[in-house]
Amino acid sequence: MKAAVLVRFGNAQDAFEIRELPDLPCKPHEVRVAVATFGLNFADVVARLGQYQDCPPLPAVIGYEVVGQVLETGAEVTHVQPGQRVLAFTRFGGYATQIVTDARAVVPLPDFIPDAEATALATQYCTAYFSACMAINLWPGDHVLIQAAAGGVGIALTQIAKNAGCTVYGTAGSDAKLETIRKNGVDVPINYTTHNFARVIEKTAPNGKIDVVFDSVGGQSVREGIKLLNSGGRMVCFGAADMSGANKLQVAWKAMQFGLYHPVQFMLRSASLTGVNMLRIAENKPLVLQQCLQEVVKKAAEGQLKPIVHGVYPISQLWQAHEALQHRSTVGKLAIQW
Ligand SMILES: NC(=O)c1ccc[n+]([C@@H]2O[C@H](COP(=O)([O-])OP(=O)(O)OC[C@H]3O[C@@H](n4cnc5c(N)ncnc54)[C@H](OP(=O)(O)O)[C@@H]3O)[C@@H](O)[C@H]2O)c1
């Protein structure tokens, strides 16, 4: 098989080499897939910059999700057959022409969902679904703040929150992105480069407070978000984009900006602070991840969820896709075709 191997940390153009690698064995509980398309995630950029602690040592094949055709199933696998089109999670290894993964991380894919949209349903939509429907509950009438609402997870969270009957406040970094998030369902789009999101919410939300915050930016944005929480409020932290590309001193400074909290503060307000890391869920609760994957594919097939695709790149333009993601010029999913 071939793979785009991460061979050195740093700029995207020099980071990857296409290499021939031996096929991996397919164990009884696993599925081998011939990959047509794989998805990119912000974590891939962080891994390429050498700042992702879970990234395997170099040379490494990164990548969390693929769409392709089943080539082989292990003896214990019954829910997918060779030849079937599937969406699959990989714990790294996705930037390859073949992957082997746990059968619970593989789901059949309806033909009418295009490859690139399907890749968004894996990491980004499952993160959103787990965060909004399993880690916490969204209740009809909740006022919900979604940071980075134009990112892949932000788009998914917006759709889930609107389906649940919530009012959504979403932040993004440019007016062009604001237009997209408005069309995606955000009721109060906020350009955080020209407006302080906390002040906008204090002026527009009932009592100036919010019921739920989804934060992938980290640092000061978390501290501000917690201050905005209503009693009964829920704060879900699942990323720290603000720390990407920062040096050690800046990381330490930004880490302090999160703030310090005592459980009693949360108890008195009946509020909660929850962290989400889907890699840990995949390792420790594979059936929960399977349920997320099945649910988001079902809801996409029913038309309740609709990923936005920023672009589909050929493998020869992997580095350009990585640069676009790093420089925040994208809205929605980036996928790579072999
Ligand atoms: N915990 C988990 O299991 C898990 C799973 C998936 C993703 N994540 C995390 O969730 C975040 C969003 O993922 P995604 O797939 O939605 O990414 P994405 O599509 O690349 O969107 C990320 C967006 O975040 C915004 N952003 C705000 N501050 C940023 C900064 N300092 N540097 C870069 N971008 C910044 C940018 O939008 P603006 O230009 O509008 O600010 C950017 O486009 C990432 O941090 C990712 O690592 C975590």
Domain boundaries 140-276, CATH class:
alpha beta
- Could you give the percent of the chain with pLDDT greater than 70? 100
Residue ID of nearest Cα to ligand 1 atom 43: 328
Distance from Cα 220 to the centre of ligand 1, integer Å: 15
pLDDT in the model for residue 251 = 86
172 lines ligand 1 (CB under 6 A): yes
pLDDT in the model for residue 243 = 84
158 lines ligand 1 (CB under 6 A): no
Q: How far apart are CA 221 and CA 239, in angstroms?
A: 11
| Model confidence pLDDT, tens digit, residues 217-275 | 999 999 999 999 999 999 999 998 888 778 888 888 888 999 999 999 999 999 999 99
| Domain boundaries along the sequence of the chain | 2-122+286-337, 140-276
- The strand ranges marked E within 238-302 are 272-275
Residue ID of nearest Cα to ligand 1 atom 37: 148
Instruction: State the closest ligand 1 atom to the C-alpha of 326, by its place in the atom list counted from 1.
Output: 33
Q: pTM for this structure?
A: 0.96
148 lines ligand 1 (CB under 6 A): yes
Residue 177's pLDDT band, with cuts at 50, 70 and 90, is: very high
Q: How far apart are CA 175 and CA 191, in angstroms?
A: 7
Distance from Cα 43 to the centre of ligand 1, integer Å: 8
Structure tokens given for 73: 């199933």
CATH superfamily of 2-122+286-337: Medium-chain alcohol dehydrogenases, catalytic domain (3.90.180.10)
Residue 206's pLDDT band, with cuts at 50, 70 and 90, is: very high
Distance from Cα 214 to the centre of ligand 1, integer Å: 11
Instruction: State the closest ligand 1 atom to the C-alpha of 333, by its place in the atom list counted from 1.
Output: 19
124 lines ligand 1 (CB under 6 A): yes
| Model confidence pLDDT, tens digit, residues 68-115 | 999 999 999 999 999 999 999 999 999 999 999 999 999 999 999 999
Tell me the H-state helices in 104-151: 115-121, 123-129
